[in-house]
Structure 1
């Protein structure tokens, strides 16, 4: 199924949360909607899930207004709310009935969904005993229960501890094999791990829509990384003066050096270090920036 977001705008009082935003999402993709806090990610996700109405523009699924296709959408909010006194199984039955799923289907499908999200052994446990990661996995279960064509997730791991975050990321990796996913996040390492495509939003506007491969190729830099001892820090000032060095930054014992041409000048750089009696602990060549560095350039201008 094809999702189309066409010139969507949404204002809250005088603040425009989303402005003339357009994008398309094809079946089988896992797309990361990334941007800083307050960029408009959650507002856009809620518009796609038909929780908020647009001021302008429209969201279409298979050419039909999203409000007529809600059965095809699974939605995971950033903080899923459950009745704490219910069990996991009771919760899914309750939510399934609200979605119009028959009792026969629920009896058949609830155990399957609980197994998929790794909660089979907890089906009769009260939700008040669940960790944050378990609640998020239950949230994914309810989003999958009615077999949607795609799922939208709003910051699915930002509120979790490292263990819960890893559990949910692993689960998303599994379900993206069979379900189209759009997820918002400001945690770039997560987006880089699980998404093939990135849509960057800033101040409610789309400023980039690309793949990781394209981002890297367009932001490639001839960069060398060295790790040196504390006593050799003063060498960095010498490096900055070399004619083939564009930039040199030091963080702790690590030095990031941008050269005019890595292949041509890497040996000259090493030779200069040896001439200055620099103790090189590690030497690496990395010809592209990280997603975090590219992101900061896009949204902050650094």
Structure 2
């Protein structure tokens, strides 16, 4: 399912919440929509799923208006609401019928969906007894029930404890193999783990749209951190004299090496270490973390 958002704008009480927003997501992509609280993420998502209408612009799914393609969208809101007196099976049966899925098909699909999200043993348990992680997994199950081509997840783990968060992230990792996903979050570690591409939004405006590798490449410091098993003064002197090494700082067994071109010269230094039988414990590029990149962008 291809998603296109073209010049979409939305205001509330004369305050712009989403402003001339453009985005294109190709079939099979998993894209993270990241931004601080109040950035406009949830408003944008509600327009995509046709819960609210944009003031201007359009949203297309495979070239069709989104209101014509709602059956192709699976949506998990930030705080899914269920009837506590219903069982997991009854909940999915109720929501599936609201989505127009025939009862016979639901009888076949519900056990499979519950197994996929790890709730097969809770099929007949009342939702009121579920933990936060179990409710989120049930929310994912209802989003998948009608076999959508696009899954939209709005802050799916922000309110969960570490165990519930890990359970839900593992499920998202599995379903991303089968469908297009737009994941809204302000938890950057989650976005980094799951998504291949990031869209950063602030005050309803898109600040960035790139892959994690592109983000890191643009925000590297052309420095390598190398930790050795022992203090190898001979090889350190060799490194210092390499023509592409601009600066070398030694702290015990650790080297900080500044080079001209990190992506070409890191391989040359590693090859040189192997040729001299250097025992390396750690070899990494010194760069800003995703959180540091994010903070620099949103605090400008």
Q: TM-score higher than 0.5 here? A: yes
1:39 matched to 2:21? The reply is no
Cα contact 1:31–1:195 (8 A) shared by 2: yes
Q: CA, structure 1 residues 156+262, in 2 after alignment: closer, same or farther (shift >3 Å)? A: farther
**Map of 1:54 onto structure 2:** 54
**Structure 1 unmatched ranges of 5 or more:** 228-260, 274-281
| Residue equivalent to 2:208 | 208
Deviations 1:104-155 (A, max 9, x none): 1001101000000000000000000000000000000000000000101110
Q: Is the 8 A contact 1:222 1:262 kept in 2?
A: no
How many Å separate the matches in 2 of 1:2 and 1:297? 31
CA shift for structure 1 position 62:
1.2
CA distance in 1, matches of 2:222, 2:122: 51
Alignment-derived partner of residue 140 in structure 1:
140
Counterpart check, 1:195 vs 2:177 = no
Partners of 1:262 and 1:202 lie apart in 2 by: 39
Alignment of 1:75-86 (within 5 A): 75-86=75-86
Residue in 1 that maps onto 2:101: 101
Deviation (angstroms), 1:224 = 6.4
CA deviation after TM superposition for structure 1 residue 226, in Å = 10
How far off its partner does 1:265 sit? Answer: 2.0
Matched position secondary structure for 2:247: helix
Q: 1:148-187 alignment to 2 at 5 Å?
A: 148-187=148-187
Aligned-residue RMSD, C-alpha: 2.1
Q: Which runs of 5+ in 2 are unaligned?
A: 228-242, 255-280
Question: TM-score normalised to the size of structure 2?
Answer: 0.82
Retained in 2: the 8 A contact 1:155–1:185?
A: yes
Contact (CA 8 Å) 1:197, 1:210: kept in 2 or not? yes
1:1-302 aligned at under 5 Å gives the runs 1-223=1-223, 263-266=245-248, 268-270=249-251, 285-301=284-300
Shift of 1:213: 0.6
Once the 2 structures are TM-superposed, how far is the Cα of residue 63 of structure 1 from its aligned partner? 1.1
Distance 1:262 1:76, change over 3 A: farther
Contact 1:143/1:151 (<8 A) preserved? yes
Partner of 1:245: none
Could you tell me how far apart the structure 2 residues matched to 1:141 and 1:131 are?
15
- Structure 2 vs 1, CA of residues 168 and 263 (structure 1 numbering), >3 Å: closer, same or farther? farther
State the partner residue of 2:275: none
Shift of 1:177: 0.5
Matched-pair contact (CA < 8 Å) for 1:224–1:283: no
The aligned length equals: 259
TM-score by length of structure 1 reads 0.81
Q: Determine helix, strand or coil for the equivalent of 1:264.
A: strand
- Residue by residue over 1:78-101, the C-alpha shift from the partner in whole angstroms, topping out at 9 and shown as x without a partner, is 000000000000000000111111
Equivalent residues of 2:220, 2:285 under 8 A apart: no
Q: In 2 relative to 1, CA 38–226 (structure 1 residues): closer, same or farther, beyond 3 Å? A: farther
